[in-house]
Structure 1
Amino acid sequence: MRAILFAGGLALLFSLLGTRVAITVLSRRGYGQEIRDDGPTTHHTKRGTPTMGGIVIIGASVVAYLLAKLITGQVPTASALLLLFLFVGLGAVGFLDDFIKIVKQRSLGLRSKAKMIGQTVIALVFGWLALSPLLEDERGETPASRHLSFIRDFDSWVVPTVLLLLFTWFLITGFSNAVNLTDGLDGLAAGACTMVFCAYTLVNIWQNNQSCTIQPGGACYEVRDPLDLAVVSAAIAGACFGFLWWNASPAQIFMGDTGSLALGGALAGLAILTRTELLLLVIGGLFVIETLSVMLQVGYFKATKGKRIFRMAPLHHHFEMLGWEQVTVVVRFWIITGLAVATGLGIFYAEWVAGVG
């Protein structure tokens, strides 16, 4: 538990102070955000705001995790290192995207195929390692399960490795892009991610306290390294919270694809490693809604040859176009995230209570 507190607190401090330094450095180098010409006109004033702030979130999280383990004298686990690999790897893909935008002075960075290739390579390497016998513990548990999971594994059938890798790829690329779509208003993605990673910290702590290695029984959790996953999750939550100080409206820096792809991938990685893949759809409900709004808009536009469901997608831009103030949209979407998190945690706890009963 001390490692969780150290990781969260240190990451918050590093992010809070490091983002201030990043704003200065990135501004001097002219690493400013390019804005879509077809977006809300109110966003044009943001052109030139420093971007790639996700570097600070990633750096603060990783350094805080390592320091927390050093301070407490604990050895990093395979599950935590895998999650950090996914986090940093997708952040590197996002960094390339952001850097190309800045160098070429355009709102589009990496070509969609190139970005997808990068996400796919990182996701498949993560999936393969998470299922590899090379990372089995003394009980024969791999970091990821060979079953699909909601709150715990569906034990009725073992999913073939190829299908599991495809599902892993789908979840990781889906959520990394979902957070990327959500990151369109000052503080929206950072605030939402703070809540969701805090929720997963609680899930991991509970899974550790009710682990089958500690309290065998019908309601125990067969999850590998839950307490160390809580340390990583707390570090990322703290880093997002510290970053929010500078990213809240009016934002002095954006996380860019560097941050959004990394954060979305880390959420998917946590869901896979904690055997809660389908529960993530509830806890991360805001990101699902934002993604569905884009899918519906594009599908309807093509089917009707030019008609739209929303004034603009993703959904947060629709409400902006209706005349809502940006801060109003952000706060209300944070409330939606809070409700989704509360619902997810409620379902998680209710399932455990039912199992004990």
Structure 2
Amino acid sequence: MKNILVAAAVALVVSILLTPYLIRVFSRQGFGQEIREEGPDSHKKKRGTPTMGGVAILVAMWAGYLVSHLYSYMVSSSTQADVPISITGLLILFLTTALGLVGFLDDFIKIRKQRNLGLNKTAKLVGQFIATIAFALLAVQFPNRYGYTPASVNLSFVRDVSVISFGAIGFVVFCYGVVSAWSNAVNLTDGLDGLAGGSSAMVLGSYVIISFWQFRWNCATVSSLGCYIVRDPLDVGLVAASAMAGCIGFLWWNAAPAKIFMGDTGSLALGGLVAGLSMVTRTELLMIIIGGLFVVEVVSVGSQIAVFRTTRRRLFRMAPFHHHFELAGWAETTVIIRFWLLAGICCMFGLGLFYSDWLTLTG
């Protein structure tokens, strides 16, 4: 537990201190956000606000994770750290960073070309594809001495659903679908000051709790038929805690009125992170509930497109869903806070479902 607190504390400090430095540097370089012409008129004034702030979240996440391990080695009474660096933790960090790099390129092109379109769809999908395939292929390798690999080829809810197995090739396809869906879902949610950052922090906080519960009832340490078959749950918790604190620190500067945006650098990285966490904790279907706000945003866009193509009429004033309420006259801060509440409710409901399963083991 101390390692999780150290990881969160370090990431929080790094994010809070690094973000204003990035604001100054990006402002000096002219790295300002371009705004959609068809977006709400109230957003026009945000043009030129520094973007690519997701760099702060990524740096804070790595700093929190690595310093927590350094702390573990320093205070350990043996030659082995209490929480060793694991292949599972490194794979999640790799996936998050790789997608952050794709987002960084997207943001950079937008800035250089002075438009709201960066990488074309093909280039972005190829970038996501390469990162995801590498993650998927490696995640089913490296079994530990108990035979647990970082991810499983089975579908999962709060644990593996063993009757539904994708097989090795099917898992790669499934993994690409999950990562692509969540990275784009968080990207769509990142349309108001602090909305994606605050919601992501709640989701990541949920995974800190889930991974810790799994650590307490891991089959590697507990002799029980009903335990959780996961690898390196505590190290996964360190990654989630570092990223959560990184989001909170960034939110200090990103809250309305935002002084910096996370850009695709942050949103694609965070989407990949929550997708990776869902797979290594065996909670892919539960993530749909925990990340319910992101699901609503994606569904709103899909519904808007489907209805318009079939009836030539709009279901919402504008999609994603948060813009609908802006155009209905809600203040931006009102939309953000109420959507944060929705995100919190989804997280609590998802944690409640996981906790009910956990009670059947401990009770």
Q: TM-score range by the shorter chain?
A: over 0.9
Match for 2:322 among 316, 326, 337? 316
Say if 2:17 is the partner of 1:31. no
Which amino acid letter does the alignment assign opposite residue 250 of structure 1?
A: P
Residue in 1 that maps onto 2:78: none
Describe the SS at the equivalent of 1:148.
Answer: strand
Q: How far apart, CA to CA, are the structure 1 residues paired with 2:303 and 2:325?
A: 16
Q: Which of residues 94, 97, 104 in structure 2 aligns to 1:85?
A: 94
Q: For each residue in 1:202-231, what CA deviation from the matched residue of structure 2 results, as whole angstroms up to 9, or x when unmatched?
A: 000000001112222133101000000000
- Mapped partners of 2:162, 2:173: distance in 1: 19
Identity, in percent, stands at: 50
The partner residue of 1:221 within 221, 228, 246 is 228
2:199 corresponds to: 192
Describe how 1:3-14 pairs up with structure 2 within 5 A.
3-14=3-14
Deviations 1:218-266 (A, max 9, x none): 3310100000000000000000000000000000000000000000100
Deviations 1:63-109 (A, max 9, x none): 22111101111331000000000010000000000000000000010
- CA shift, 1:23, in A, is 0.4
Match of 2:102, SS? helix
State the distance in 2 between where 1:11 and 1:99 align. 25
1:331 equivalent in structure 2: 337
AA at the equivalent of 2:206: A
Kept after mapping to 1: 8 A contact 2:146/2:220: no
Asked if structure 2 preserves the Cα contact closer than 8 Å seen for 1:219 and 1:356, the reply is: no
- The correspondence of residues 299-314 of structure 1 with structure 2, limited to 5 A, is 299-304=306-311, 306-314=312-320
Correspondence 1:262 to 2:269: yes
- Count of residues paired in the alignment: 354
Deviation at 1:157, TM superposition (A): 4.5
Counterpart of 1:174 in structure 2 is 181
Contact (CA 8 Å) 1:188, 1:334: kept in 2 or not?
Answer: yes
**Matches for 1:1-357 after TM superposition, within 5 Å:** 1-73=1-73, 74=81, 75-132=84-141, 135-304=142-311, 306-355=312-361
Checking the alignment, whether the CA contact within 8 Å between 1:87 and 1:262 is kept in structure 2 is: yes
Residue 166 of structure 1, CA deviation: 1.0
1:109 and 1:301 map into 2 onto residues whose CA distance is: 25
Residue by residue over 1:170-192, the C-alpha shift from the partner in whole angstroms, topping out at 9 and shown as x without a partner, is 01010000000000000100000
| Amino acid aligned to 1:27 | S
Counterpart of 1:89, as a letter, is A
Q: CA deviation at 1:161?
A: 1.2
Matched residue of 2:11: which SS? Answer: helix
SS in 2 for 1:350: helix
> What is the deviation of 1:356?
5.3
Contact 2:213 2:358 in 1 (8 A): no
TM-score, L = length of structure 2: 0.96
- Report the alpha carbon displacement of residue 121 of structure 1 after superposing the two structures with TM: 0.9
Name the amino acid aligned to 2:230.
Answer: V
1:157–1:321 distance in 2 versus 1, CA, 3 Å: closer
The residue type paired with residue 133 of structure 2 is L
Distance 1:167 1:282 in 2: 18
Q: What are structure 2's unaligned runs of at least 5 residues?
A: 74-80
Deviation readout 1:108-148 (Å, 9 max, x if unpaired): 1000111011001111110010012xx11111211001211
User: 1:328 and 1:218 mapped to 2: Cα distance?
Assistant: 47
- Provide the rounded CA distance (Å) in 2 between the counterparts of 1:29 and 1:142: 44
Q: Letter of the aligned partner of 1:14 in structure 2? A: V
Q: More deviation in 43-52 or 68-77?
A: 68-77
Alpha carbons 1:191, 1:244 under 8 Å: kept:
yes
- Could you tell me how far apart the structure 2 residues matched to 1:154 and 1:112 are? 34
CA distance in 1, matches of 2:307, 2:51: 32
Amino acid at match of 1:61: M
Aligned partner of residue 155 in structure 1, secondary structure: strand
Q: Is the 8 A contact 1:146 1:161 kept in 2?
A: yes
- Looking at structure 2, the residues matched to 157 and 190 of structure 1 have their Cα atoms a distance apart, in angstroms, of 34
Amino acid at match of 1:116: L
Deviations 1:301-354 (A, max 9, x none): 1112x2110000000000001000000000000000110000000000112224
Select between 80-89 and 135-144 the one with higher mean Cα deviation: 135-144
For residues 66 and 122 of structure 1, the distance between their equivalents in structure 2, rounded to whole angstroms, comes to 22
TM-score (norm 1): 0.98
